[in-house]
Amino acid sequence: MLPLQQRLLKYLAEFVGEPSPLIAENSKRLPLFLRERFQLRATALWGRRVLFAVEDESWAPGAPGDYENLAVSLRSQVGEPVMLVISRLPAYARNRLVRMGIPFVVPGTQFFLPLILMDLRERFSPPRPAKGKRLTPAAQSLVLYHLQRGSLEHQPLKDLATAIGYSPIMLTKVKDELAGAELCRSARHGRSITLDFPLKGQNLWERAQPYLTSPVKKTHWLRWNHPGRPALTAGLTALSRLTSIADDRLPTFALASEGVHANLEKGTFHRCEGQEEANVRMESWAYDPLLLGKDGQVDPLSLFLSLRDSVDERVQQQIAKLITQVSW
């Protein structure tokens, strides 16, 4: 096997062609415990300096919390962000580092540098389904309800339909969808069919993510004299209340698609040609945000999904932290 630094260069070449050489940095400024474990190497990516801390391959993989402390210590010593280069790391630990916002690379497996790019290509998990294979809004609602509002296991499908606001016939289709994605199993008890989720909590969330989509169908620019209920805060407005990111000039709200159209017809709010005339950004959702929302804002997992594809580096950092706040 190639040495770790050569594997790093080869992996970087997948993104930027031929990256600049790795230049050795003076490690004498580091405390002994850091010098024994890491070598500092610098390069340029897309015109920006990136400093790597390449871990000695003789070290056994550490716990995510250990790497968080090491990253903080390295940054405080060198005075700039440092990206950890780790030879091997279990999948759960890589996911934890992403959620903690710790920049790192495991050459050939995963790359997370929120200030420049993110390649969250997890080669040991199921591939992202082809278009058309994502969960329907009803199926996604059920999974997110199960993760955040209360277990839906061992309840008849007709009761699940009532809980998430869909018809029993739709729940039969949802059952087949979730079984096809290997997210649940169905069982018959007398005349009733129930669902069983083999994976729990965060493990289910991570397994389901490739099948989940943003709930946002469309964004509207509106004039609304008294914004609030029945809409819930969403987007950066909701994220700013849960993390340290600043809100946009216009507050963001969310309503089910049907709710947006109904309120436009009633004159509750009025559509604008552009954001210059608006005082509200309204997201039209594929499922009702009121089903999962709490305290006047959308649920954290739907919020994550609505912002997951943002190109804003600040947003990517904060939604990674958002997931760490979820009580699984």
Predicted pLDDT at 59: 85
Q: Which of 168, 96, 109, 175 is nearest to 136 (CA)?
A: 175
Residue pair 52/83 in contact by the 8 Å Cβ criterion: yes
Topology of the domain covering 4-119: Trna Endonuclease; Chain: A, domain 1 (3.40.1350)
Q: Considering the entire predicted model, what is its pTM?
A: 0.62
Are 4-119 and 137-211 equal in CATH topology?
A: no
CATH numeric code, 137-211: 1.10.10.10
Per-residue pLDDT of the chain (328 residues; tens, 9 = 90+): 678 888 888 887 776 666 678 888 887 778 888 888 999 998 887 777 888 999 998 887 777 778 888 888 888 788 888 889 998 887 777 777 887 778 888 888 877 876 555 444 444 444 444 444 789 999 999 999 999 998 998 888 989 998 899 998 999 999 999 999 899 998 887 788 889 998 999 889 988 888 999 999 999 999 998 888 889 999 999 999 999 898 888 999 999 999 999 999 888 999 998 788 899 999 999 999 999 999 999 999 999 999 988 867 788 888 888 888 888 8
What was the pLDDT predicted at 114?
Answer: 67
Q: Which of left, alpha, beta for 101 (phi over 0: left; psi -120 to 50: alpha)?
A: left
> What pLDDT does 30 receive?
83
- Which two three-digit tokens encode residue 324? 């760490």
| Cβ atoms of 144 and 164 closer than 8 Å | no
Q: Could you give the residue ranges of the DSSP H alpha helices within the chain?
A: 4-16, 32-35, 64-78, 91-100, 137-148, 157-164, 168-180, 201-208, 235-242, 257-266, 300-307, 313-324
Question: Domain limits of the chain?
Answer: 4-119, 137-211, 216-324
